[in-house]
Structure 1
Amino acid sequence: MLQEMISKTVVMEAAEQFKHVLPHDEDNIQLLKKALILYRQDSVYRVKPLSGHTAAAYVQDVVPVKVTIDLSDVKKSSCSCPAKKICRHILAVYLYLYAQYERLGTFTEYWKEQRQSFDQQLLLNQLRLSPENVRPTFENWKRFFESEFRLWEQRTPKGQQTMQYLYYGYFSALKKRTPSEPELKKIYQIHAALATWLAMHTLIENMRIDPEKDFYSLNPYIEQLMDTIYSSIDELKTYALSFSLDPFLDKTPGVVRELLLKKDIFQYERLRIFGEIWSALLSRPKWLKRELDVLHGLPDTPEIQFARLHLEFLLKNDEAIFEKAGTFSPDILPYTFQWLSVMTAKKDWKRLKKWYERLEGLVEGFSKLDRPYREIRDALSEFFLFLDDYSKNANDEQLYERYCKKCLPYTFTEYSQFLYSRKRFIEWMEIHSLVGFSIEEIGQNALKDIAAEVPEALVPSYHREISGLIEQRNRSAYKEAARCLKKLRTLYNKMKKQDVWKRYMEQLTARHKRLRAFQEELKKGKLIDGES
């Protein structure tokens, strides 16, 4: 409940506030020690979130006190004790919240960082600047991002120049300068996230971060930066963007391109961000054509090739993309999902028809890649969500089924649902046999439906099941075989093919006449008489 209502981001960003409100001096060292004692003695209890940034709790000290903590502005937090400022009880509750997401040692190390007095004063002066003091321009933003990063580098020990400290220190500082105007606010948040992402690459280039060794520790922060960008774009989509934003949007391609050209790590994520920003904010033909000219002058890296194709897509030059389709590696398939998503959202079924006709070879090739099953399955599952939407709206079932067949066994689930919904039970049973399902692994409701509609669809599977059980040569398998034979007899009766059943049983008992235990199970089940 607590972690559902109060996010990790909110809790971690509050660490920066405590660092300013409680500077590292002797008094506050003692305060933190007392708060740690309260936390470690389990004195914090009945913690209840009140909103996305506030929580209430009780702390058992000499007498119990009630604390209300406000993580958006910790100075607004309150405690029922006599203290007039941040007290050990408020700090103990914060430590409790912090410990839900991160080890407490990280907070104490972060809080102990020393700053040079000059740098500290410079930062405070910058934070005091308001939109009224400094005219918001892209150039001012860029200068601020750069100076703030230099400041962060100076005050952060080299051993602590990690993505975690970059996100909760540098990125948090950038967000404090966010403009108040709704549209400008969202554009700023996008650029602050991009600046933080680029700063990570600077740390990689300076050998502070190892992209291979630290990949899994970087990943959650990249996801959070992407969430910031996506949510800002989603909110901007609700506005009719005014021309006053043009000076900011006009400079955005250079920043996005800079991120695109970074090497190796998070290639897929960088391409997704490139595609999303261009699709949502920069899709004016003049910007698209200008950027295409720039990209054509750059080396043919995979990132640049995709970027050119994406801009051609936004200009609706599909034929230019299709001309190159034969040279595409199947690996590119997941990168086309952005385009399919855009066309599906716009319900552009006519345009999608051409795309799905041209993508068949690429999708089939992807299903034959030498990759882990789950990796291929996950990608094809996402692709089939788009294809299903198209086939239903365009009434093109044949296309959908063709894709299903070409991508088996990865598309077993989609093809199975497709066949079952159309009561094509014979084929439905065939693909279950193809991927190794036994008759006993198929749900009873499905067996009843098929037996009522098309009993002959079940006959081959029962025959295979019975043969397999007999080959096991043990009493329990013979019992199971007898049960299956009874069900098979019912199916033959429904089909009015009792003579076929009779011949089958004569051949079966003759072929296995030396298996006494099997013959006994047949007699017990009254499948043969005692003299057979």
Structure 2
Amino acid sequence: MLKLQIPKNRMNYLIERMQHDFEVPVLERGWEFVHKGRVKDIQLMHGIEIHAQVHGAQIYKVILDLEQFTKSSCSCTKSKSCRHMAAVIFTLYAPYARPEILLQQLKQAILVKGRQQQTRAATGTLKAEKKAERLEAPLASQPPSQWQRFFDQQFYGYSLSQQHSIELFYHATQDSLVPLANAWENSVRRLFELHVLLFVMRKVEQFLVDSKSSYLSLYIESGSKVVAKLCQEQMDLLMPKLDCKRLADHHSAALDQTLSLLGEMALGGSDSPMQWLGVYRSFWWRLAEQPKRLAKEQKRLELLAAKSTPLTRKRDVLLMALAHFQVMERQDSAARTLLEQLSKREARDFFLYLHRFYEAQQWDRMLSWLRWLLPTMQRAQQEELRMFCTYWMEAVSLQPDDSEWVDVMISLLPRTYYFYTSYLMKSERFKSWVDLQIANRVPPIDLYSADLKLVEAKDPSLLLPIYHQAVERCIAEKNRTAYLMAVKYLKKLQAYYKKLDKPDTWDEFIYRLATRYSRLRALQEELRKGKWIP
């Protein structure tokens, strides 16, 4: 099979056209041509056209336009979307994955599409009905459930047809929905903006479920993570602006509906990239002065937790929600005791507290949570580890000494190498810095020249072990390139010994080195070029 590989976006466009323009029998016949090796002389012309020959009863010439598929053509007498064109597209897909799997995905997508069309036909003129039922623009006086209905209607039938569809959906909601509340009273306007984000999160979860069997599933999953991060960033900006006291006093029903929606989405325990639990806890934190609502929600959570099955994600979520109310009451120890029942402890679920304590400069509380999270960090993702170390560095600056933090960094090596080495340089612990490089077998060429110069200015003798180790490792490779690198390190060593006024030590070292490796002829040649041995 020919292996011409067109750009991924062009390939996705062709696959989209196959789903919309081709019938299943045509696709199956196209795959048969590919399977029998009938597609020949496939070429990319002018950057936007694919020219190929398909050998059937006769030779058919196929031209695919990668920008406007309607301009594509085949020399056969069939319709525009013929089996020969399908065969060429399947051939183009081969460098990415197995065409027979794509065929099955397309058949399933076309089947689903056919069922949807039958459903529309059975229910009559759906478009006319939708138009008749179309809601007016949302009002500040309406309940949030009405806003959500309007959002659903505005984006009814939104199609995920390309790689960046999810990100486009997010931006489309922000551009079209958020401005609708620009003239509203401030507290309700902010609540409306929150509901726009909740709508995005809810729809993205739905897109993920609907696209599981689609050829775009990987792109949708990747895009969902991007949108989850965008939503989280927007939430972080929006939450401090929510006037929950005014909402509780003047828009109590709207506030309660919002809490109900959040509870429904956050406490289900579904596996999702959306940070529902984080939004739930952040929102309730804004209601710290609403004791009746807090007590009612706690009681509800306790009842749900009592009915939940142990060692499940849903129970874990309920436990974290219950613990959150204890954290709000500054009962951190009791919260952590409750959280010991978690089936799986993930560091990212608790960065909300670290950030909160950092903003409030509650360093003791932050340190206690950092210590509690320490056992989870060995399996944490690198970004989570980076945040963990950053928070601890902030906390340690106010401690009488940094011994605990240093012990933590050592316990998490090698994952904390960059954080630890940076801290050692910053605190001018050059001996410990050198020991770290030697333990990790880091050659001088991989170290920052500024760091080496700083240590050299302080005490050149500290660098000697690093260069000695590097020389030995290069020689152990036993090839000319490595010997040349060893010579570079030797020149640097000679300069250090000279600077330290130890020429005799250098002479003894180079003599012993040449004697020990006397059988390595190429190395001996390089030592002679350096005029270190006769």
TM-score w.r.t. length of structure 1: 0.63
Cα distance, 1:147 vs structure 2: 6.9
Cα distance, 1:450 vs structure 2: 1.6
Name the counterpart of 1:403.
Answer: 408
CA offset digits 1:355-387 (Å, max 9, x no partner): 33x32xx424431x3xxxxx6221100111211
Q: Alignment partner for residue 261 of structure 2, among 249, 255, 258? A: 255
Amino acid at match of 2:254: F
Amino acid at match of 1:123: R
Alignment RMSD, CA only?
Answer: 3.7
Cα distance in 2 for residues equivalent to 1:241 and 1:130: 16
Q: Alignment partner for residue 339 of structure 1, among 353, 375, 382? A: 353
Q: Alignment partner for residue 295 of structure 2, among 264, 289, 292? A: 289
Matched, 1:303 2:317: yes
- 2:471 touches 2:489 (CA, 8 Å); kept in 1? yes
CA offset digits 1:279-318 (Å, max 9, x no partner): 2355644433321211111125222122122222112111
Cα distance in 2 for residues equivalent to 1:266 and 1:182: 31
Name the counterpart of 1:460.
Answer: 465
Q: 1:396 to 1:354 in 2, by over 3 A?
A: farther
SS, match of residue 341 in structure 1: helix
CA offset digits 1:492-521 (Å, max 9, x no partner): 344454444343233222222334443343
Amino acid at match of 2:346: I
Name the counterpart of 1:194.
Answer: 198
CA offset digits 1:153-202 (Å, max 9, x no partner): 9x749999x97898689888865763611111111221343245445656
Name the counterpart of 1:449.
Answer: 454
- 1:426 touches 1:454 (CA, 8 Å); kept in 2? no
- 2:460 touches 2:500 (CA, 8 Å); kept in 1? yes
- 1:249 touches 1:282 (CA, 8 Å); kept in 2? no
Amino acid at match of 1:345: E
- Trace 1:122-521 onto structure 2 (pairs within 5 A): 122-123=133-134, 126-127=136-137, 136=141, 140-143=143-146, 145-146=148-149, 149=152, 156=157, 175=178, 178=181, 180-198=184-202, 208-210=210-212, 213=217, 214-223=220-229, 225-226=231-232, 228-236=234-242, 243-266=249-272, 269-281=275-287, 284-298=290-304, 299=308, 301=314, 302-324=316-338, 326-328=340-342, 331-356=345-370, 358-359=371-372, 362-367=373-378, 369=379, 376-521=381-526
- 1:253 touches 1:291 (CA, 8 Å); kept in 2? no
Amino acid at match of 2:348: P
Moved more, 185-194 or 340-349: 185-194
Q: 1:156 to 1:172 in 2, by over 3 A?
A: farther
- 1:158 touches 1:208 (CA, 8 Å); kept in 2? no
Q: 1:465 to 1:165 in 2, by over 3 A?
A: closer
Cα distance in 2 for residues equivalent to 1:443 and 1:202: 48
Amino acid at match of 1:353: L
- 2:269 touches 2:317 (CA, 8 Å); kept in 1? no
Cα distance in 1 for residues equivalent to 2:487 and 2:173: 72
Cα distance in 2 for residues equivalent to 1:248 and 1:319: 34
Amino acid at match of 1:141: P
Q: 1:172 to 1:264 in 2, by over 3 A?
A: same
Cα distance, 1:210 vs structure 2: 3.7
Cα distance in 2 for residues equivalent to 1:348 and 1:118: 57
SS, match of residue 526 in structure 1: coil
- 2:167 touches 2:226 (CA, 8 Å); kept in 1? no
Cα distance in 1 for residues equivalent to 2:160 and 2:449: 61
Cα distance, 1:407 vs structure 2: 1.1
Cα distance in 2 for residues equivalent to 1:313 and 1:336: 11
Cα distance in 1 for residues equivalent to 2:402 and 2:260: 44
Q: 1:190 to 1:443 in 2, by over 3 A?
A: closer
Amino acid at match of 1:193: L
- 1:152 touches 1:169 (CA, 8 Å); kept in 2? no
Cα distance in 2 for residues equivalent to 1:379 and 1:449: 31
Cα distance in 1 for residues equivalent to 2:319 and 2:495: 62
Q: 1:484 to 1:258 in 2, by over 3 A?
A: same
Cα distance in 2 for residues equivalent to 1:415 and 1:167: 39
CA offset digits 1:409-468 (Å, max 9, x no partner): 111111011111122222212222333421222233322222231223212221222222
- 1:187 touches 1:232 (CA, 8 Å); kept in 2? no
Cα distance in 1 for residues equivalent to 2:173 and 2:526: 76
CA offset digits 1:242-280 (Å, max 9, x no partner): 732444334432221111134533256112222222223
TM-score w.r.t. length of structure 2: 0.63
Cα distance in 2 for residues equivalent to 1:236 and 1:452: 54
Q: 1:297 to 1:419 in 2, by over 3 A?
A: same
Cα distance in 1 for residues equivalent to 2:160 and 2:513: 76
Cα distance, 1:337 vs structure 2: 0.5
Cα distance in 2 for residues equivalent to 1:252 and 1:413: 43
Cα distance in 2 for residues equivalent to 1:317 and 1:513: 70
Amino acid at match of 2:355: S
Cα distance in 2 for residues equivalent to 1:287 and 1:211: 42
Q: 1:496 to 1:221 in 2, by over 3 A?
A: closer
Cα distance, 1:121 vs structure 2: 4.0
Cα distance, 1:526 vs structure 2: 3.0
Q: 1:169 to 1:383 in 2, by over 3 A?
A: closer
Cα distance in 1 for residues equivalent to 2:173 and 2:144: 14
Q: 1:184 to 1:240 in 2, by over 3 A?
A: closer
Cα distance in 2 for residues equivalent to 1:432 and 1:412: 9
Amino acid at match of 2:317: E
- 1:334 touches 1:379 (CA, 8 Å); kept in 2? yes
- 1:330 touches 1:363 (CA, 8 Å); kept in 2? no
